[in-house]
Structure 1
């Protein structure tokens, strides 16, 4: 079995990979149609890479980028939760820059899917985070991803329809990373 190498990239170093990141994105979404376009995704990458704490883990094999995962901590003024469906428990969307790490993308080239690359990327990124929880959004019709996330310990919470044009409705998933510290009584 072939096994890609994993490498962490902060935003400054990942800028040199943007064209390759877009290529993997387009390959992974080749059958999904709008809104999965190069221009929209390049704008998303540019906006996300400027966020404090942005981190990418890339899977490389033979000098080729075969997959990646990236995310960033949610700031107090985040718009990540815009479009969330009620009911949710009080305080669920309150952020301080240290509470929640948002995974924005986990993508693997189609020829590399179902070979453990996504799991390796996921585990590598999540295991090094210091936030209390992580979140990600998954399309309800993406049953393969939903089963994987379920087996990796993610829990569905509600649905969310982002405010960008042609946005689908997603399932919001949460994974506890660290238990919140209890204040002494």
Structure 2
């Protein structure tokens, strides 16, 4: 589905994202209504914003990237991620599927190989309009890395179906070190810049 013509994308680095912290929190609350209502501590707005503050810390200024979508001048969704550094914690608890022959080679990072897509969210009143895919493409198509990775809860059928349609494949599972973090499936996808550079 094509997003509305009125959508405007704002690309942000870590410092710019921190300046819009209230907007980030508002989009989260309007996107994850059911998850927040469930009472799961991992999905609480406070824990979510604690993670956001970690992602956008000054030490991550050069690796963090974010896109906010505005529809009719109002924030409607957001996505962000960062380039994985050598010895990235992202892979610490990774258990690969049988399709991964060499775990060490698969998880080796040099600071330019992999972009970790951390979040995509669209406010509940704007879902079903193609904004999630548009945000996904606006962020990833601007990246110079060769591949991207993301985490998805195995029972999140809607998100899983979308990611598969967008070219993602499962590589294994992991449980991040965040407090109350669930076990996630780890997905992987080549990026346009990586494909063109061989």
The answer to which of 56-65 and 120-129 deviates more is 56-65
Cα distance in 2 between the residues matched to 1:120 and 1:69: 10
- 2: distance between equivalents of 1:122 and 1:150? 13
SS at match of 1:172: strand
Q: Which residue does 2:160 correspond to in 1?
A: 146
1:16 corresponds in structure 2 to 19
1:180 and 1:140, CA in 2 relative to 1: closer, same or farther beyond 3 A? same
Question: Structure 1-normalised TM-score?
Answer: 0.91
- Preserved CA contact (<8 Å) 1:59 1:65: yes
Backbone CA RMSD of aligned residues = 1.8
Does 2:117 align with 1:114? Answer: no
**1:95 match: secondary structure:** coil
For 1:180 and 1:157, how far apart are their aligned partners in 2? 22
Contact 1:22 1:38 (C-alpha < 8 Å) held by counterparts? yes
TM-score norm. by structure 2 comes to: 0.85
CA contact (8 A) 1:26 1:37 kept: no
Q: Is the Cα contact below 8 Å between 1:26 and 1:36 reproduced in 2? A: no
Match of 1:37 among 27, 41, 44: 44
Moved >6 Å (runs of 4+) = none
How many equivalent residue pairs? 182
Q: Which has the higher helix share?
A: 2
Do 1:106 and 1:122's aligned partners in 2 also have CA atoms closer than 8 Å?
A: yes
CA contact (8 A) 2:96 2:171 kept: no
Q: Within 1, Cα distance between the matches of 2:16 and 2:179?
A: 30
* Alignment partner, residue 163 of structure 1: 177
